[in-house]
A and B are shown apart, each in its own frame.
Chain A
Amino acid sequence: MMTDITSELSGVPESDLVIEVHDLCKSYGKTVIHKNLQFDVRRGEVVAIVGGSGSGKTTLVRQILALERPTSGTIKVFGEDISRVDAPTAQLMRNRSGMLFQQGALFSAMSVFDNVAQPIRELGKVPEPLLRDIVMLKLEMVGLPFKHASKMPAALSGGMIKRVGIARAIALEPELLFLDEPTAGLDPQSSEEFVQLIATLHRMLGLTVVMVTHDLDTTVSLSTRVAVLAEQRVLVCAPVEQVAAIDHPFIHEYFLGARGRRALQALPAERRARLCAAALAPAEAVPMLG
Chain B
Amino acid sequence: MNYTRYDKPPGLNIVSRPVTGEPGPVVQLSGQWTALSLALDHARGGITGRLREIGLQAQHWDLSGIERIDHVGGQALWQVWGRKLPSGMALSATQQEIFGRIALLESQCQSVEYEPEQIQRSDPVTRLGLSIFGFAGQLSAGVLLLGGFVLNVLRLLRKPKLTPWREISANIYSAGSSAMPIIALVAFLIGVVLSYLSAQQLKAYGASTFVVNILGLSVIRELGPVLAAILVAGRSGSAITAQLGVMRVTEELDAMRVMGISHGMRLILPRVLALGIVMPLLITWTDIVALTGGMLAAHFGLDIDFAYFLQALPAAVPIANIWIGLGKGMVFGMLIALVACHYGFRIKPNSQSLGEGTTTSVVVSITVVIIADALFAIAFQGVGYS
Contact = CB atoms under 8 A, between A and B. Distances in A.
Interface of A: 13, 15-16, 78-79, 92, 95-96, 107-109, 113, 120, 123-125, 127, 129-130, 133-134, 136-138, 140-141, 145-154, 171-173, 204-205
B101 to A, nearest CB: 7
A237 to B, nearest CB: 21
With a 10 A CB-CB cut-off, give which of B35, B101, B119 has the most chain A CB atoms: B35
Contacts of A149: 116
A156 to B, nearest CB: 12
B1 A15 contact: yes
Contact of B352 (A108, A138, A150, A172): A108
Nearest to B43: A124
Contact of B116 (A13, A107, A113, A133): A113
B177 interface: no
A133 B3 contact: no
B114 A136 contact: yes
A109 to B, nearest CB: 4
B101 A137 contact: yes
Contacts of A95: 36
Nearest to B42: A124
B299 to A, nearest CB: 51
Contacts of A152: 350
Contact of A172 (B72, B79, B97, B348): B72
Contacts of B39: 123-124
A137 B3 contact: no
Given A113-B116, A147-B117, A151-B117, A96 B6 contact: yes
Provide the main secondary structure of the chain B interface. helix
State which size class the interface on B falls in.
Answer: 35 or more
Given A130-B75, A150-B119, A151-B117, 16 more contacts: A78-B3, A79-B3, A92-B6, A95-B36, A108-B349, A120-B72, A127-B79, A134-B35, A147-B117, A149-B116, A150-B116, A152-B350, A154-B349, A172-B36, A204-B97, A205-B70
A173 B75 contact: no
Contacts of A129: 79
Contacts of B352: 108-109
Contacts of A153: 350
A270 B150 CA distance: 73
A146 B118 contact: no
A58 B342 CA distance: 37
8 contacts: A107-B351, A108-B352, A123-B35, A134-B71, A137-B101, A147-B113, A150-B119, A204-B97
A222 to B, nearest CB: 21
Contacts of A124: 39, 42-43
A158 B141 CA distance: 31
Contacts of A136: 105, 109, 114
B114 A154 contact: no
A136 to B, nearest CB: 6
Contact of A173 (B3, B72, B108): B72
Contacts of A13: 2
B34 A130 contact: no
Contacts of A130: 75-76, 79
A15 B5 CA distance: 13
Interface string B1-13: 1110011000000
A101 B77 CA distance: 32
B79 A92 contact: no
Interface string B199-231: 000000000000000000000000000000000
Nearest to B70: A173
Contacts of A204: 97
Interface string B105-123: 1001100011111110000
B102 interface: yes
B229 to A, nearest CB: 31
B101 A146 contact: no
A154 B113 contact: no
Contacts of B97: 204
A36 B146 CA distance: 59
B78 interface: yes
A120 to B, nearest CB: 7
Contact of A154 (B36, B76, B348): B348
A281 B316 CA distance: 94
A148 B113 CA distance: 9
Query: Considering the complex of A and B, which 9 residue pairs feature the smallest CB-CB distances, nearest first?
Result: A15-B2, A108-B350, A109-B352, A123-B39, A173-B70, A150-B116, A149-B116, A146-B114, A172-B35
